[in-house]
Chains A and B, each alone.
Chain A
Amino acid sequence: KAGVTQTPRYLIKTRGQQVTLSCSPISGHRSVSWYQQTPGQGLQFLFEYFSETQRNKGNFPGRFSGRQFSNSRSEMNVSTLELGDSALYLCASSSGTGPFYEQYFGPGTRLTVT
């Protein structure tokens, strides 16, 4: 089985712009979660989608949003980019939602905001 794929792998944006990141889960997986990783804050949970519905949300401002499509692919959008949004954005998929399902992570998208 192919693993979780994320596109693009690297991205450079300017302050004030918006960005959309894409995640394709493992085939058959219906849950997709997004995380932000920075040297200062570490890995932080953004949100989780299951069957096109947001099931869980972390403590991030409304500039961070996401959605999931009927084929389970997910996108994450960040509007009005700030320098502090520079980070590695990781997507993880699992076959179900809830604590019993292990998560499989993709390689991440490295976003740099200048």
Chain B
Amino acid sequence: DAKTTQPNSMESNEEEPVHLPCNHSTISGTDYIHWYRQLPSQGPEYVIHGLTSNVNNRMASLAIAEDRKSSTLILHRATLRDAAVYYCILRDHSGGSNYKLTFGKGTLLTVNP
């Protein structure tokens, strides 16, 4: 499985933007980049995913490097509710069976009031 590397932890202030980086230098052409987050005492929740182009949804934006070896999850205005562990996951879309979610250690985001 292609692997991702994320910082162990990051800190942000409330109402400021947060940029969460993810390196995936061994990404293959059929891997999509997915982000999930896990709030304290809850199961993970889907945030966003993309392939090559930058993506936006109501929760966040995903900026993908041109060579696809890295990406950045952007929270435009962090709130206390955004404090969570953020997971960057590569998901194989080649049509085989190896599309399961493989979670790494993730980045623990702390949001200060």
Q: Which residues of A contact B (CB under 8 A)?
A: 4, 33, 35, 42-45, 48, 55-56, 58, 90, 92, 98-100, 102-108
- Which secondary structure dominates where chain B touches chain A? loop
> Is there contact, CB below 8 Å, between A56 and B97?
yes
- Among residues of B, the one whose C-beta sits closest to the C-beta of A110 is B41
Number of interface residues, chain B, beta carbon within 8 A: 21
Which residues of chain B come closer than 8 Å to A107, judged between CB atoms? 41-43
Which residues of chain A come closer than 8 Å to B41, judged between CB atoms? 107
Provided the pairs A99-B32, A104-B46 are in contact, do residues A43 and B100 lie with their beta carbons within 8 angstroms? no
> Is there contact, CB below 8 Å, between A103 and B42?
no
- Among residues of A, the one whose C-beta sits closest to the C-beta of B98 is A56
Q: How far is the CA of A42 from the CA of B41 in the complex (A)?
A: 14
> Is there contact, CB below 8 Å, between A92 and B91?
no
Given A99-B99, A103-B44, 16 other A-B contacts at CB below 8 A? A35-B101, A42-B103, A42-B104, A43-B103, A48-B100, A56-B97, A58-B100, A90-B44, A92-B44, A98-B99, A103-B101, A104-B45, A104-B46, A105-B43, A105-B44, A105-B45
Q: How far is the CA of A58 from the CA of B102 in the complex (A)?
A: 10
Q: Which residues of B contact A (CB under 8 A)?
A: 32, 41-46, 49, 87, 91-93, 97, 99-106
> Is there contact, CB below 8 Å, between B43 and A92?
yes
> 10 tightest A-B contacts by CB?
A105-B43, A99-B99, A43-B103, A102-B46, A99-B91, A45-B100, A99-B93, A90-B43, A105-B44, A56-B100
> Is there contact, CB below 8 Å, between B46 and A103?
yes
Chain B nearest CB from A15 CB (Å) reads: 26
Which residues of chain A come closer than 8 Å to B87, judged between CB atoms? 43
Which residues of chain A come closer than 8 Å to B45, judged between CB atoms? 104-105
